[in-house]
Structure 1
Amino acid sequence: MKKLTFLFMAMMGTASIASAQTATPDPLTVRSWAASCSNCHGTNGRAEPGNESLAGANKDDIVKKMLDFKAGRKPATIMHQLAKGYSDAQIVAIAGYFAAQKK
């Protein structure tokens, strides 16, 4: 009986972790993920001349570029390394954040 209870609890823990990873992230969490982009892409995605602005950009375009960096399909100096630090769901959330910003 103890083994069955342990197995059930382990399965429930795994299910709750999986659901937490697929849940919509808190907007402040997404904003903090996006803040790491500010060194190159500016505060809220409004970059200084010479860097790509992300504010108001198309969400799908940002996601595609990030996934291409992550997979090594798009050449980069640093973005391929940074993109690997995010899950695909985080990339989608960050892209949505920048797409919602005013240019």
Structure 2
Amino acid sequence: MKIFTTVATVCLLAATSTAQAADPNLARNLAATCANCHGTNGNAVKGSGMDSLAGMEKAKTLQKLADFKSGDKPASIMHQISKGYTDEQLDLIATYFAAQK
């Protein structure tokens, strides 16, 4: 019975990680949290003072996010928000915005 429980637990963990990786909308859903400040799909409202993220080079976005996360780039809120994501999630977000127009 103990081995069954162990195998069942491993299978559930594997299925959970596979389900998350297979979500075709994960990047879009993660990036949607940026809309309040940076606009829908990263298209900031002109004159708002916010950077538009749509179409920004992925490497540039990742660098900015890393700088916020490490505290190297001062911010009012981005340093806190960026710490809430894994590096893999930040990569998905940067990839999503790089593909936007």
Using structure 1 for the length normalisation, give the TM-score: 0.79
Q: What aligned pairs does 1:50-61 form with structure 2 within 5 A after superposition? A: 50-61=49-60
CA deviation profile, 1:48-78 (whole Å, cap 9, x unmatched): 2221111110011111211221232322110
State the distance in 2 between where 1:88 and 1:45 align.
19
Q: Which runs of 5+ in 1 are unaligned?
A: none
Q: Counterpart of 1:53 in structure 2: which amino acid? A: S
Q: What aligned pairs does 1:1-103 form with structure 2 within 5 A after superposition? A: 2-21=1-20, 23-27=21-25, 29-47=26-44, 48-49=46-47, 50-102=49-101
Q: Counterpart of 1:57 in structure 2: which amino acid? A: M
**Across the two proteins, how many residue pairs are aligned to each other?**
99
- Describe the SS at the equivalent of 2:11: helix
State the distance in 1 between where 2:60 and 2:95 align.
11
State the distance in 1 between where 2:66 and 2:80 align.
11
Q: Which runs of 5+ in 2 are unaligned?
A: none
Compared with structure 1, are the counterparts of its residues 100 and 77 closer, same or farther at alpha carbon in structure 2 (3 Å cutoff)?
Answer: same
Compared with structure 1, are the counterparts of its residues 86 and 25 closer, same or farther at alpha carbon in structure 2 (3 Å cutoff)?
Answer: farther
- How much identity, in percent, do the aligned residues show? 48
How far does residue 101 in structure 1 lie from its aligned partner after superposition?
1.0
